[in-house]
Amino acid sequence: MKIFISADIEGVAGVVAPPQGLAGNPEYERARRLMTAEVSAAVAGAFDGGASGVLVNDSHGPMTNLIAEELDPRAELILGRPKAMGMFAGLDGGFDGAFCTGYHAGAGQHGVLSHTVNGFAFSAIRVNGVDCAEATLYGAYAGSLGVPVILLTGDDRMAAQCAPHFPRARIAVVKHALGQRAARAVSPEQARARIRAEAERAVRDIGGAAPFTLPGPYRLEIDMSTVALADLAATIPVAERVGPRGVAFAADTMPAVIGWVNTLSAMSASLR
């Protein structure tokens, strides 16, 4: 049984402020160790539940956050960017289930460090009218491959937003949002124990999980954070301008949807 893990940082217990996700300061160094330990707990739980292999994809920012020598050595690890399919790089239809660790609520939602893919560029992302957190967006991509998301870890607001799309997934809530940059969290030790236990249950009960799918064809609508960013996005010939800050794209597949999101995210760097 093969398990895929997409690892983010904002939903990790003890992480509440933007500098903790940005390299070059002591708080980031602490946060990436907390992140690595939570992912290791998920890996251990997957093997406890009967997994035969685990692939971890570093999914935050530069995607070089996980500390390889501190990760459970039974897992394989994908680091770096750019890479096809971004946060779910490496996933294919040969996996039996996917975990989303350290995840958070989507753009415009209450939740710790809430955003979707790029907090600078995007105010909202909708696919066929569904407001997407990152778990929703990438979970639908996994579903298009026939792979169910079976574990989500992060804050209570992520759980509230994403649980309806993944009703059979196990959820490890490790902190409760008090604001966009404040939370009440369990200790790192308790967070890891909770994640390991839920990961084991997720794998043992995997037979009851069903993939989350959004039927195509797809209409991707993105509310950019500024009019200037929408101006930039609208220079793409196939883009449809749908408002001062809004653009839309037609896509036949979920990989194409993910591709447009990641393209606009990369383009936005020119206006920072």
Per-residue model confidence as pLDDT tens digits over 95-143 = 999 999 999 999 999 999 999 999 999 999 999 999 999 999 999 999 9
Per-residue model confidence as pLDDT tens digits over 136-166 = 999 999 999 999 999 999 999 999 999 999 9
Per-residue model confidence as pLDDT tens digits over 222-250 = 999 999 999 999 999 999 999 999 999 99
pTM of the model: 0.97
pLDDT attached to residue 56: 99
Question: Of the candidates 97, 110, 160, 144, which has an alpha carbon nearest to the alpha carbon of residue 258?
Answer: 144
* DSSP-derived secondary structure letter, 6: E
Residues designated as active site: 115
Please check whether residues 78 and 23 belong to one and the same domain: yes
Contact 150, 100 (CB under 8 A): no
Average pLDDT value over all residues in the chain: 98
Could you give the angle at the alpha carbon of 248 between the alpha carbons of 219 and 225, nearest 5°? Answer: 125
Task: Out of 180, 208, 236, pick the residue that ends a domain.
Answer: 208
Total domains in the fold of the chain: 2
Full DSSP string of 143-184: HHTT--EEEEEEEHHHHHHHGGG-TTSEEEEEEEEEETTEEE
pLDDT attached to residue 208: 86
Cα separation, 205 vs 90, in Å, equals: 23
Please check whether residues 29 and 138 belong to one and the same domain: yes
Please check whether residues 21 and 43 belong to one and the same domain: yes
Task: Out of 208, 229, 262, pick the residue that ends a domain.
Answer: 208
Is residue 124 domain-resident?
no
